Structure 1
Amino acid sequence: MNVALKRSGSVWNAIAAFCSKHAALVIVFWVLLAGASNLLVPQIESVARAHGRGFLPSDAAVNLAGREMADQFHDGASNNLAYLVLEGDHPLGSAERAFHDELVAKLRADVNYVDSVLDLWPDPLTASAVVSTDGKAVYTMVRLRGELGDGAAVHAVQAVREMVLSPRPPPGVQVYLTGPGATIADQITSVDHQMLMITGLTTVLIATLLFLVYRSPVTPAVPLLTVGVALAVARPLVALLGAHDVIEVSIFSAALLAALVLGSATDYGIFLLGRYHEQLRAGAAHDEALRVANRTISPVIAASGLTVAAALSCLAFAHVGLLRSAGLPCAVGVFTGMVASLTFLPALLQIVGKRDLARPRTTHNRSARRWRAIGTIIARWPGPVLVISGLVLLMCAVPAATLRLGFDELDTLPQNTHVNRGYQAMDRHFPPNRLLPEIVLIKSAHNLRDPAGLIAVERVSKQIMAIPGIYMVQSASRPAGTMPEQAALTSQAGVIADQLDANAAQLNGRLASIDKFSSTLEQFSASVAQLQRGMTVGVGGIDQLHDSVDIMRTGLDQLRGNASQMAAEIDPLRNFTQSNPNCAGDGICSLVLKVVEPVDATVAATGSMTHGMSSIDTSVRSMRSGFSGAESSLTTMRAALHQMNALVADVKGVSGQIQPMISTLVEYLRGMREDFQGSGEGGFYLPERAWHDPAFQRASEVYFAPDGKATRILVFGNGKMFGPDGAQRSADIVAALKAATKEGTLAGSTLINTGFGTGIGELHAYVVEDFSLLAKVSLALVFLIVLVMLRSPVAAVVVFGTVVVSYVSAIGISTLIWQDLVGKDLHWPVTSIALIALVAVGSDYNLLMTMRMREEVSRHGAGLRTGIIRAFGGTGGVVTVAGIVFGITMLAMMVGDVLSIQQVGATIGVGLLIDTLIVRAFLVPALASALGQWFWWSPAPFARALRSRWSTTWRARPHGTSTIPADGGVAETVAVT
């Protein structure tokens, strides 16, 4: 062996020599490392629960929209939405209401897991939006802590669910905590609970298969113990890195890590055991067999481990948390399995092999002969093999053209899970997707809490409602999902009609009173006329009285004058009587006194009468003046009465004309109300006084931000919101928003749309972008690694291209099974994870085959076809067993009840079987045989490196034959014609 060859294998020989010489030390080191790490480091599941991150990137538009909405409404920035659902077998009454209020109070008091609670049941204006039409169900939105899918969110869902399920509900009532946040949390929890079962079952399957292959209790233990040690070290290593946030971990990545480490490390053990047994059958001693096996298989193990780890690391560039978290943890796990297979596995095989406990069960490998026979057929007739295998792969790949990615997270969980039973309860009483609304946020520069703002909000709501598939919009203008009857202009017109009709009825009564008043007025006018006539007569009598008084006063004046003259004439007699003190006793005096006294009395009486007549004259004059004024007033009164009679007649005439007009107007307005009732049309206007209504004020607090400059709208629609319907609806809502706010009060406003349809649309875009990125980066890395290992661009392209073909075929078979037969679309992470796994692992199998072919051609001087035959004989059974073991390992993931895990396992498992049984077994060697020497063509630098590496002292055999030296494999001659 020359210096170049020694240098080429020195690294692997050194590793093998160290592990063989210090086997016990290596084993003890790994065992102690596994034990200590598991004792000192938390388990990966607990780390994933505590450090798991959100579903979408923090800067995703839907997350930014959620935070903006939280800033405006101050009800929490989390997107972890859940719903408290109460369902009764009877209409919910006061007992159920009290129980619901008790739960809501508990939720609001929980500051550790609950951000906010939106309870619309107490408000009559909004209650109809959350209570079913049959009254048997009600729901309340609860915003929990954490980001959708992260550890805090999962823990919050579990804690709150325990809280709401612990109290005993009223008889006949079921309580559920469901919704999107609970859906994602239950997915993660289901994977967590089933991971141990899947890992255990996978281990049992691998052990059973290895026992059937090796027919020995000891030989299968070699790769199984290696797998166990690798997994025992990889799990705490990943947990340690995750606990310090060096890498991102999740429950899903922990499950996938276990499956990949089990499959890959088992394959590495099978590869090494296969070459070790081959050497033993060729007559090599244990030490030599192990040395050759290490030298030839270790590069394959290293290349395989680096290929798979590098490909998995590409997932770290993904935007979606589920994909991103699966990358580096699985890469670390596979890398750990590779290191264990390069050190622990040879050390263990050294100890077991030295005691002859790992020898092959037969000295003649009948399987190798069968595989050489297959290789001979392929080498002789590559064309037909190419055609047949190509057609088979084409048939497998055709269904991939109809592939539909599924985004329905509800379908990934069994129907009997708590969260799905909650959705089923909602579907029994509400229209679909009631728990999956789209939420619109409109930010304006001014306060929207006025009639003009409400009109603008209603215009937006109406525009959204016009989108096909939308069945309800809740907003400030329609808190319960429909426009309030009192807010419709046509309804208000109907109210006006009712008021007009009532007023018209009152007017009819007033018109009857006017008729009576008109009759009374005529009677009064007649009385006034009669009074005026009497007054005229009275004025004439007063004039006559005045004349008589004048005559009487003249006569009295004369009488008074005569009496006064007489009194003056008898003054001497009066003096006489006055001078006699005892005039009454004096006969003469008393006689004179009888003459004087009557005269004096007559004078006094005539004076009084004169004064009385003067008074009578004054009174008669006043009466004459009063009667003259009264007569004038009566004349004026009669004129006014005449005008009033005319006015009453006019009023009666006009009223007669107005009444038909009022009746027509009332009939029109009422007809307008009836025609538009329930149509959602009819105009919108809520007067200013409505803002003082306490019910509307409570509703406005739900839909308006505290400063009134932002409002939110909830949109509900039919179809699958977890899918293309939701994504398309989100785009339609955005278009409707732009159309409704081009002018008017909301022109220039900031429009934000979020929700589950929006999230699915963004997730779809991220998945497509991530797949494109992962495909480019991972395929480039795998191609470079294969190119470096094979040093032939043509061979690298063949290996690389055939792996891509096997991937497309696997996707086609998986599409046929899941989409066409089972009726479930392939869940969105399947294609990306399957791409990474199949390209990386599938390349390993093809790489092992082609490297053995190159070894036979370059080292042993065989022709290409002979190299193919010998490579088949040496690796056919080994790679087949490895592929079947790895495939069944992945297929074991189907025993779980989470659809995404089942589909990932099925797709990768089917792809590995296709790659093992068709691509590696027929397509790759047929292409190599068909290409001939071009298969190994390489540019000059590669060719020089190849000659330098493989320039040997191997003796060339006659054309068409070659012999493998003792340390190279089976010492036999194969003839190829």
Structure 2
Amino acid sequence: MNLWGDRLFRLLTGRYAILIIGLWVLAAALGNVAVPQLERVIDAHTRSFMPADAPSSIAATRAAQLFGQTPTNNFVYVVLESDQRMGPRDRQFYDALTAALASDRRHVYAVSDLWSQPATAAGAQSPDRKVVKVMVRLAGMLGTSQARESVNAVRNVITRIPAPAGLHVDVTGPGATIVDEFAAIDRQMLGITAATIGLILLLLLVVYRSPIAAAIPLTSVGLALAVARATVAALGQSGVVEVSLFSVALMAAMTLGAGTDYAIFLVGRYHEGRRRGLPPDRALSDAYRAVAPVVIGSALTVSAALACLGFAKVGMFRSAGIPSAIGIFVTMLAALLLTPALMGLAVRRGYLEPRPSTTARRWRRVGAAVARWPGPILVTAGGLTLLAALPLAGIRVGWNEPAATPASAESSRGYAAVDRHLPANALLPDIVTVQSDHDLRNPAGMIAIERMTRQLMAIPGVRSVQSASRPDGKVPDEATLTYQAGVLGHRFGDTIDSLNQRLARVAELDNALAQAEAAVDSLGSGLLGGSAGLADMSSAASDMRTGMTGLQHTVTTVSGYLTPLRDFVGRTPDCAANPLCSTVDRVLQPVDSLVQSSTELGDGAAKLTGGSTTAAAALARLPKSVASMKDALGQARSATHDLLGLTQSLGPQLHQLTDYLTEIDTQFQGSAASGFYLPQRAFSDPRYTEVLRQLISANGRATYLLVYGDGSEWGDDGAHREHQVRAAIKEATKEGTLAPTAVDLAGVGPVTADLQRFVARDETLLVGAALVLIFVIVTGMLRSPVAGLVVVGTVVASYASALGMSVLIWQDLLHQELHWATAPIAFIALIAVGADYNLLLALRIKQEAATAGLRTGIVRAFGGTGGVVTTAGIVFGLTMLALLCSSVLSIAQIGTTIAVGLLIDTLVVRAFVVPSLVALLGRWFWWPRGLPRKATVVPTKEPELELV
């Protein structure tokens, strides 16, 4: 230790120890008072679960813009489950609930009320009518504080509206799943931390058998954690670092484990010095001098590895890296500044004296065995490590977030309710948005949408598709050609029946024509007789005229003979008084009347003769016309006979046609081969306009298709379907009027596909960066690239073994796939912490070998570090194993994997593999500088080895 180091040590452990401890306590207190608690900062500043440039996030944003909505990928389902079929009271509750949700413009962007629309009602409820689901689009991107607030707002609305008896309401779906998963972590963190501290305290009491010795690591790490939390909270509040509940869990576990290890290293080295007889001050000084570089190297290794998570795309990784690295860095400062001050106070008062060691001799024996037989021990230990890693070949990564969420969570209850009544993934459709360069709200556009729908249905594993052509998952009867044929058949049949009824009156016409024909026959016969009689009448009239002419001539002649008498009467005045005159006058009057009447009679006879002659001539022509009329009536009757025959044959034939059309409708009803055609008039049907509003954009140039699959939507099935959907859309639009300008996919399946790509990318980045950083740090500490390669290689081997054992435990025994976050987080933790233990051992071997030779150095290093590192490894392992208290699967699996890895690394890799490699490589392990030449080669029968 240099001069500055000596001064710092004396400052830390001397009279300023109380001041330093007080400053740490003050920093922890002020930090937690001046800065909001980390959980509150997380509530207000949590960022999105997925990056904004993820294809699924871009798809969700673009789809929202096309449909005039606020961009979000946070959607939930409100699931109503009744003990019996839904009734009027359930419907009233549903209406009140959807109205209340729609009125919350701050948290709710849209409520997809399908149950109220006849065309989509079947798609909103289960076949047994006991479950109804309604999708709600909420404010905030998945994983953010705004998303959590929106989900909780929906749940608060539900609690305010009393549900009818027997009706259970749950909020589920992707948004609710993420909220419930993080909420479970938040609720359990205090218990997990308490359990961790309890385990550490118990183990330290067992190891040190001293409350003071056990309290020093816990006090140091407790203050470090308090300062680290306040630091991260301040940086998170200002937006410098990203924070999440997952980062709180990992930071707490890493800080408690690493901080306890650092304190154990220092206390253990102090105890080692005291057992060798060094005075307390000297033992503490030597311990600090020896352990400080290890703590610095370890902290740099762990924090650098954790900081690599900051480059990740996935929010869970990214938000865990920097906060945990800050926690490790603060823990390093506490180990270098606070722990020596606490130990100085305890040492001066004699509270930190060691108990007799019961493990050092055993570890020296292990070291002696490794130094004598490095080859066989390496093969045996390596074989065990390889055997533990074998289950890794069958690893199945789990992407199912609902399965990772506690079964008691509301979202899990909602999924269970839906699964009881609806097919799998009923709440998890892939949302496909297809854009076009023209309006799709026409028959041709609907045919194009139906072609895409049919092509999507042909994808293996796709159960159903909701689209504008299939609002409730199947083609509406009104939109099928068979239905149109049936309608045509019914209408044609009605028309034929009406025509047959009218054609039936042709028989009446035939009867009327027959009667008319008979009447015409009678008329013809009568006309013939009438014509002869009229001819006779005309002849008689002519004779009468001749006779009347002769009579008129005779009367006129007689009247002329009486002219003198007329003159007499005319000349006689007052003829009436003259008897003779009056007598003559009376004779003349009848004669004059007769003359006048004969004249008139003659004129009448002339007219009669002319009229009868004309009538006789006309009537003589009528029989010919009647004959023509009779021929026309005969032709009409022939036509009516033909029409009656046609009616009797055409009627049944037309009925066969209508029956065939009706049969087509009946036989193809509900099938997938009924054809598709939506007439233009349907677009003005009120029942269909609401469907168009929800599934087609306002300008008609974009449409939604909801694809439901049967496989694991939160897994490979959902992720792989993305490429199949794009290929199906391309195939369906090779011909026709629709040429998509863009196809976007959102939903759980596409999000899982993005997550798989990002996780693979992040893992590659993290593995590469972490290994390079750890190699550089270890190489710098040991001044040997070979040693750096050995340390990095061995911790990779211990990580593979840990992951293999985790697969065996969780996947093979507990039948739970390994959560996707387990391997990356466990890798960062194990590669960093494992490097610490191996670095501590290698440095100790180097120190001891410089004075006693390599083989004896190995024995001494085992004796000095075996118990300390083993204790540290077990403590850190139990710290991580405390994460098993979490009901969140990812947290429990990460804790298990790291704990098993630490135990394997501590008890196998660090104890046997690394020292065996050091012994086998010899001076090449320290290449290029090698070991200091002060050492002398110890013979095989040296006392050190004989002693053990």
Please report the TM-score for the alignment, with normalisation by the length of structure 1: 0.93
Aligned to 1:637, which of 622, 629, 635?
629
Out of 13, 17, 26, which is 2:6 matched to? 13
Share of identical aligned residues, percent?
Answer: 46
Contact 1:469 1:717 in 2 (8 A): yes
Decide which moves more: 641-650 or 739-748: 641-650
Secondary structure of 2:188's counterpart equals helix
| 1:261-300 equivalences in 2 (<5 Å) | 261-300=255-294
Name the CA distance, whole Å, in 2 between partners of 1:640 and 1:446: 64
Identify if the C-alpha distance between structure 1 residues 836 and 451 changes in structure 2 by more than 3 Å, giving closer, same or farther.
same
Give yes or no for contact 1:224–1:266 (8 Å, CA) kept in 2. Answer: yes
CA separation in 2, counterparts of 1:106 and 1:123?
A: 18
Distance 1:585 1:777, change over 3 A: same
- 1: CA distance between counterparts of 2:615 and 2:33? 132
Q: Does 2:880 match 1:890?
A: yes
Aligned to 2:487: 495
Task: Tell me if 1:851 matches 2:843.
Answer: yes
Partner of 2:728: 736
- 1:32 shift after superposition: 1.1
Which residue of 2 is the match for residue 384 of structure 1?
Answer: 376
Residue 641 of structure 1, CA deviation: 1.9
- Give SS of 1:721's match: coil
Q: How does 1:187-266 map to 2 (within 5 A)?
A: 187-266=181-260
Partner of 2:137: 143
Query: Aligned pair 1:480/2:477, yes or no?
Result: no
Alignment partner of 1:785 is 2:780: no
User: CA offset at residue 387 of structure 1?
Assistant: 1.1
| Alpha-carbon contact 1:550-1:617 (below 8 Å) kept | yes
2:927 to 920, 937, 953: 937
Q: Post-superposition shift, 1:668?
A: 3.8
Match of 2:154 in 1: 160
Structure 1 residue 20, shift from structure 2 partner: 2.7
Q: Structure 1's 437 and 959: CA in aligned 2 closer, same or farther, altered over 3 A?
A: closer
Deviations along 1:841-900, one digit per CA (max 9) or x if unpaired, are: 110000000011111123xx2211111111111111111100100000000000111111
2:20 partner amino acid: V
Instruction: Label 1:553 to 1:919 Cα distance change in 2 as closer, same or farther (>3 A).
Output: same
1:863 maps to what in 2? 853
Q: How does 1:199-598 map to 2 (within 5 A)?
A: 199-362=193-356, 365-598=357-590
Check whether the contact 2:849–2:935 (CA below 8 A) recurs between aligned residues: no
SS of residue paired to 2:120: helix
Letter in 2 for 1:138: V
Deviation at 1:598, TM superposition (A): 1.2
Aligned to 1:807: 799
Residues in 1 aligned to 2:776 and 2:616: alpha-carbon distance in whole angstroms: 139
1:796 aligned partner: 788
Q: Which residue of 1 aligns with 2:654?
A: 662
Which of 891, 910, 914 is matched with 1:924 structurally? Answer: 914
Equivalent of 1:116 in 110, 121, 143: 110
CA contact (8 A) 1:12 1:298 kept: no
2:719 partner letter: A
Q: What's the CA shift for 1:509?
A: 4.3
Shift in alpha-carbon separation, 1:122–1:530, aligned structure 2, 3 A: same
- Distance across 1 between alignment mates of 2:625 and 2:256: 124
Q: Does the 8 Å contact 1:863/1:960 carry over to 2?
A: no
Residues 506-548 of structure 1: per-residue CA shift (max 9 Å, x gap): 5554554333432332232222222133223323333333333
3-state SS of 2:465 partner? strand
- Return 818-827 or 406-415, whichever deviates more: 406-415
Rate the CA distance shift 1:72–1:626 in 2: closer, same or farther, 3 A.
farther
Which residue in the other structure is 2:895 paired with? Answer: 905
Of 572-581 and 895-904, more deviation after overlay is shown by 572-581
3-state SS in 1 of match to 2:852 = coil
Aligned twin of 2:829: 837
Distance 1:137 1:623, change over 3 A: farther
Determine the C-alpha separation between the residues in 2 that align with 1:370 and 1:901: 36
Q: Tell me whether 289-298 or 224-233 shows the greater mean CA deviation.
A: 289-298
Partner of 1:880: 870
1:721 aligns with 2:713: yes
Partners of 1:581 and 1:804 lie apart in 2 by 177
Q: Is the deviation greater in 479-488 or in 142-151?
A: 479-488
Does the Cα contact within 8 Å between 1:406 and 1:825 map onto a contact in 2? yes
Q: Which residue of structure 1 lines up, in the alignment, with residue 54 of structure 2?
A: 60
Distance 1:224 1:659 in 2: 101
The yes-or-no answer on 1:769 pairing with 2:767 is no
Shift of 1:659: 4.2
Tell me the C-alpha RMSD between the 2 structures. 2.3
- Provide Cα deviations, 1:599-656, integer angstroms capped at 9, x if missing partner: 2211222233344445545654665576578656544433332222222232234344
Question: Could you tell me how far apart the structure 1 residues matched to 2:610 and 2:56 are?
Answer: 106
Q: CA deviation at 1:502?
A: 4.2
1:696 corresponds, among 688, 692, 709, to 688
Q: In 1, distance between residues paired with 2:573 and 2:201?
A: 177
Report how many aligned residue pairs link the two structures.
Answer: 947
The one-letter code of the counterpart of 2:646 is V
Equivalent AA in structure 1 for residue 877 of structure 2: G
Q: Letter of the aligned partner of 1:801 in structure 2?
A: G
Q: Deviations over 1:3-23 (max 9, x none)?
A: xxx6xx455434323323432
Matched residue of 2:114: which SS? Answer: coil
Letter in 1 for 2:895: G
Q: Bigger shift: 407-416 or 265-274? A: 407-416
What letter corresponds to residue 256 of structure 2 in structure 1? L
Equivalent residue number for residue 678 of structure 1: 670
> In 2, Cα distance between the equivalents of 1:695 and 1:316?
52
Q: CA offset at residue 769 of structure 1?
A: 1.2
Is the 8 Å Cα contact of residues 312 and 762 (structure 2) preserved in structure 1?
Answer: yes
Cα distance in 2, alignment partners of residues 40 and 572 from structure 1: 168
Partner letter of residue 714 of structure 2?
F
TM-score, length-scaled by structure 2:
0.96
- Paired with 1:619 and 1:28, the residues of 2 have a C-alpha distance of 154
- The equivalent residue for 1:969 is none
Rate the CA distance shift 1:624–1:125 in 2: closer, same or farther, 3 A.
farther
Q: Specify the SS of the correspondent of 1:824.
A: coil
State the AA in 1 paired with 2:459. I
2:187 maps to 1:173: no
Query: Does the alignment pair 1:824 with 2:816?
Result: yes
More displaced 10-residue stretch of structure 1: 895-904 or 693-702: 693-702
Structure 1 residues 619 and 885, CA gap change in structure 2 (3 angstroms): farther
Deviation at 1:559, TM superposition (A): 3.4
The amino acid across from 2:708 in the alignment is F
The 1:75–1:958 alpha-carbon spacing in structure 2 relative to 1, beyond 3 Å, is closer
Question: Residues 626 and 309 of structure 1: is their aligned pair in 2 closer, same or farther, counting only changes over 3 Å?
Answer: farther
Q: Secondary structure at the match of 1:854?
A: helix
Is 1:37 the equivalent of 2:36? no
Partner of 1:710: 702
Aligned to 1:967: none
* CA deviation string 1:895-930 (max 9, x = no partner): 111111100111111111111111101110011111
Q: CA deviation at 1:739?
A: 0.9
C-alpha spacing 1:897/1:959, structure 2 compared with 1 (3 Å): closer
Residue identity opposite 1:20 in structure 2: T
> Quick check: 1:83–1:141 contact (8 Å CA) kept in 2?
yes
Instruction: Give the 3 Å change call, closer, same or farther, for CA 907–626 of structure 1 in structure 2.
Output: farther
Greater mean deviation of Cα atoms: 579-588 or 49-58: 579-588
Task: Return closer, same or farther for 1:676/1:612 CA change in 2, 3 Å cut-off.
Answer: same
Alpha-carbon distance between aligned partners in 2 of 1:41 and 1:619, rounded to the nearest angstrom: 135
* Aligned counterparts of 2:228 and 2:327: Cα–Cα separation in 1: 5
